[in-house]
Amino acid sequence: MTPSHPAAIVALLLVLVAAGCGRPPAAPDAAPLSREEVEQNLQAQAGELGRAVVAEDHERVAGLTHPELVKKLGGRDRYVQRLGEIAAQMKAGGFRMAAITPARPSALAETARKWFGVVPTEVEMTGPGGARTTLRSYHIGESGDGGRAWRFVDANGVNGDRRKLTLIIPDYPADLPVPVSPPPQ
């Protein structure tokens, strides 16, 4: 598959996109959130990421991205530049991200210090001649503030490889899945 293939471009974009909410940490005396509130925050913030990607708001995406991933991709400026390059390459090929929609989290776990979760996503895109396709993916989330603010890694970037995921999220629970995204429809 060459980089000009639409699925490869989308996969690369999704690999580069890993986000979180960018909200300040909760006050130390903040009341703990219920599991339902944590799950709602996780899904809502995955939606924030999707809207930023579709809007090609690369600065916003960078502001929402897991800092360890940004660091590994060359820092914020390089990350924003690369997102712009991918978006331009997609447009030149006649492709556009139409929507990225998160579903209810499929897995959620709390450790002594953090919450972790998996959010299935549906990526809708258009291509030349009005062709439409839907890709399924997952965002793997981490929250260090009781489930209030989340940071995500797209599962396409690790493709089921727990070792790769732990390079970004070292304390990801062993009992949570590292999902593999199915091929495009």
Q: What is the pLDDT along the chain (185 residues), one digit of tens a residue?
A: 444 555 545 544 554 543 333 444 455 568 999 999 999 999 999 999 999 999 999 988 887 778 898 899 999 999 999 999 999 999 999 999 999 999 999 999 999 889 999 999 999 999 999 999 999 999 999 999 999 999 888 888 899 999 999 999 999 999 999 999 888 76
185 lies in some domain: no
Give the list of residues 6+ apart from residue 144 with CB closer than 8 angstroms, or none: 25, 113, 114
**Helices H / strands E in the chain, number of each:** 6, 5
Counted domains in the chain: 1
DSSP state at residue 20:
B
The two structure tokens encoding residue 158: 């690790």
Res 14: pLDDT? 53
Is 1 among the domain residues? no
Token pair for 133: 């396709």
Query: Quick check: is 180 in a domain?
Result: no
Q: Quote the domain boundaries for residue 72.
A: 6-22+32-168
The pLDDT of residue 18 is: 39
Residue 41 belongs to a domain: yes
Residue pair 136/118 in contact (Cβ under 8 Å)? The answer is: no
Q: State the Cα–Cα distance between residues 133 and 112, nearest whole angstrom.
A: 41
Q: Cα separations (Å) of 156 from 13, 22, 25?
A: 9, 22, 28
| Contact assessment for residue 123 and residue 108, using Cβ atoms and an 8 Å cutoff | no
DSSP 154: E
